Homo-oligomer: A and B are copies of this chain.
């Protein structure tokens, strides 16, 4: 029997979306298990899933019986165990740059707009939908401004975030742009980000990973 690989995710989770892109770029097949973040009080909080990931967050990858959490850690693991095509460049300074670009999104931008944070804003601070929109657009635009400067001002930027092959930073960028559009953030100020996003969307690895292409996505009315 071959290796079994199961990705616990949610169609609209940015972090799960990143890992789907990485798996597709590597050409690694996987079984998709949906964890509905809203139904039944959030399936991520149920004991079965909590036993897999005490953080009660998606994604969670079970690879041949071993459990992996945190999207960037999972992508690095995939890169180390399946080196081709690489998600990170070979030179340390380049690797640091790709990781930094990824972390601008994964550490400083995305967690602030996560579902649980928005739920807290509503329940504890009385924010309504408009307030949540203002909050989300504030942090996304701040993060994308920094990213645009880091990408536009650097000769290492190519067709993709780093050079002419897609990698970990692109796998972080595309779900974040999806999220920005969802919050109706005007995207005119980010020409380099938009250009890279379009280049990514031409690739099947990104198309297949899109939220709307997932089995747990709601069908259009």
Contact = CB atoms under 8 A, between A and B. Distances in A.
A99 B80 contact: no
Contacts of A181: none
Interface stretch (A1-9, A70-78, A201-209): A70-78
B55 A108 contact: yes
Interface in A55-81: 55-57, 66, 68-70, 72-74, 76-77, 80-81
B127 A69 contact: no
Contacts of A127: 125
Contacts of A74: 96
Contacts of A183: none
A106 interface: yes
Given A108-B111, A111-B107, A138-B120, A73 B54 contact: no
Contacts of A92: 77, 80-81
